[in-house]
């Protein structure tokens, strides 16, 4: 019994190799934490980039005196060049009009890859207050996002940004193709 107590005592007091064992135990946790941090940072950065590009496209549209479908297709090309990692998204530009009775209608709408905006589908919850007989432009961008690793908790999704903006140099921006 005395020998067994001596062996257990020596084993309990021996601290050689504990740093290596602790490192081997904690290393997978550190690697997973690092990869997870990179995925979350990438998602936040991609989301912010998509919002910045949406505001840029809205600013470009607001400075036009007239537009056509080819110019709106060029906006999608610009979006894809500014967000090269993301797959091809969608850009929809619509002009919304409020008549003298307060009713909203879509004057024209064009989408690069989806359906045009219909009057019944106007997102009124985020619509700014419009005066009677006022036009407003709605620029919608859809940017798909695929995470670097899907096991972190961020799934593949499409971020949609909706920006209302007034024309800067005229009351309306006509589309010559519609």
pLDDT of 15 above 90 = no
The mean pLDDT value of the chain amounts to 89
Domain range list for the chain: 2-165
What global pTM score does this model have? 0.79
CA–CA separation, 146 and 155 (whole Å):
7
Tokens for 100, please give them.
Answer: 């003298």
**β partners of residue 109:** 94
Cβ-contact 57, 165 below 8 angstroms: no
HSE toward the beta carbon, residue 172, CA cutoff 13 A: 14
3-state secondary structure of 44: helix
Q: Greater confidence, 70 or 85?
A: 70
Residue 12's pLDDT band (boundaries 50, 70, 90)?
confident
CA–CA separation, 108 and 118 (whole Å):
9
CA–CA separation, 158 and 144 (whole Å):
4
Q: What is the pLDDT of residues 137-159, one digit of tens each?
A: 999 999 999 888 888 888 999 99
Q: What is the pLDDT of residues 110-132, one digit of tens each?
A: 999 889 999 888 888 888 888 88
Cβ-contact 43, 25 below 8 angstroms: no
CA–CA separation, 173 and 137 (whole Å):
8
pLDDT of 71 above 90 = yes
State the pLDDT at residue 153. 84
CA–CA separation, 42 and 37 (whole Å):
8
> What percent of the chain stands above pLDDT 70?
99
Q: What is the pLDDT of residues 53-65, one digit of tens each?
A: 999 999 999 999 9
How far apart, in Å, are the Cα atoms of 126 and each of 22, 50, 103, 121, 130? Answer: 54, 19, 16, 12, 12
């Amino acid at each position: 019994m005395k020998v067994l107590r001596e062996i257990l005592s020596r084993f309990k007091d021996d601290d050689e190799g504990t740093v290596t064992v602790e490192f081997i135990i904690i290393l997978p946790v550190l690697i997973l934490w690092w990869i997870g941090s990179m995925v979350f940072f990438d998602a936040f950065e991609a989301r912010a980039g998509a919002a910045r590009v949406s505001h840029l496209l809205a600013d470009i549209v607001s400075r036009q005196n007239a537009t056509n479908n080819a110019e709106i297709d060029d906006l999608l090309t610009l979006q894809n060049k500014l967000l090269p990692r993301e797959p091809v998204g969608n850009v929809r530009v619509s002009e919304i009009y409020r008549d003298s009775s307060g009713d909203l209608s879509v004057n024209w709408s064009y989408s690069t890859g989806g359906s045009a905006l219909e009057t019944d589908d106007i997102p009124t919850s985020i619509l700014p207050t419009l005066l009677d007989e006022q036009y407003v432009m709605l620029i919608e961008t859809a940017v798909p996002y695929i995470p670097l690793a899907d096991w972190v908790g961020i799934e593949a999704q499409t971020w949609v940004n909706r920006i209302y903006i007034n024309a800067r140099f005229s009351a309306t921006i006509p589309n010559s193709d519609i």
